[in-house]
């Protein structure tokens, strides 16, 4: 994916404010980690661009009732979910889901820092 990809730029905006997040590359894809744990990947599946993220099983079930989301072929049983990258994405909703994904893997100190930033 080219570095100027709008989804990549938007993801970087979301994640730059989260404590102890870093961007890396796994299997050629931009990947975001909290510490050593992955919580989002900009990927391609079935020749379509997508963002893979972690979700609670109940959230995953609800999301996958719509055509915009699907269970990830890798790790679906652990909550990994795909959202198809399209021009009319609901980025506000997605940002909340991506922050929730971070919360699922972040250490307590990271969450305390995040909550402190949001309160202040």
Q: Range of 65's domain?
A: 6-107
Give Cα 39 to chain centroid, integer Å. Answer: 6
Q: Does 117 map to a domain?
A: no
Token readout for 116 is 């402190």
* pLDDT at 86 (0 to 100): 84
* pLDDT at 1 (0 to 100): 47
* pLDDT at 120 (0 to 100): 64
Contact between 82 and 52 under an 8 Å Cβ cutoff? The reply is yes
Q: Does 114 map to a domain?
A: no
Q: Does 17 map to a domain?
A: yes
What is the total count of domains within the chain? 1
Tally Cβ neighbours within 10 Å of residue 86: 12
Q: List the pLDDT tens digit at each of the 120 positions of the chain.
A: 444 488 999 999 999 989 999 999 999 999 999 999 999 999 999 889 999 999 999 999 999 999 999 999 989 999 999 999 987 888 999 999 999 999 999 999 999 999 887 776
Q: What is the CATH number of the domain that holds 85?
A: 3.90.1150.30
Cα separation, 72 vs 84, whole angstroms: 11
Q: Does 1 map to a domain?
A: no
Q: Does 119 map to a domain?
A: no
Looking at residue 61, the DSSP 8-state letter turns out to be: H
Q: Does 38 map to a domain?
A: yes
* pLDDT at 88 (0 to 100): 82
* pLDDT at 20 (0 to 100): 96
């Amino acid at each position: 994916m080219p570095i100027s990809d709008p989804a990549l730029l938007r993801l970087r905006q979301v994640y730059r404010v989260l404590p102890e997040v870093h961007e890396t590359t796994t299997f050629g894809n931009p990947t975001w980690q909290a510490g050593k744990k992955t919580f989002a990947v900009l990927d391609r599946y079935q020749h379509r661009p997508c963002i893979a993220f972690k979700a609670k099983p109940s959230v995953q079930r609800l999301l996958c009732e719509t055509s915009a989301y699907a269970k990830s072929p890798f790790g679906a049983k652990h909550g990994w979910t795909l959202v198809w990258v399209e021009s009319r994405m609901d980025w506000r909703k997605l940002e909340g889901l991506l922050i929730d994904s971070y919360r699922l893997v972040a250490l307590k100190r990271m969450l305390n820092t995040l909550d402190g930033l949001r309160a202040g």
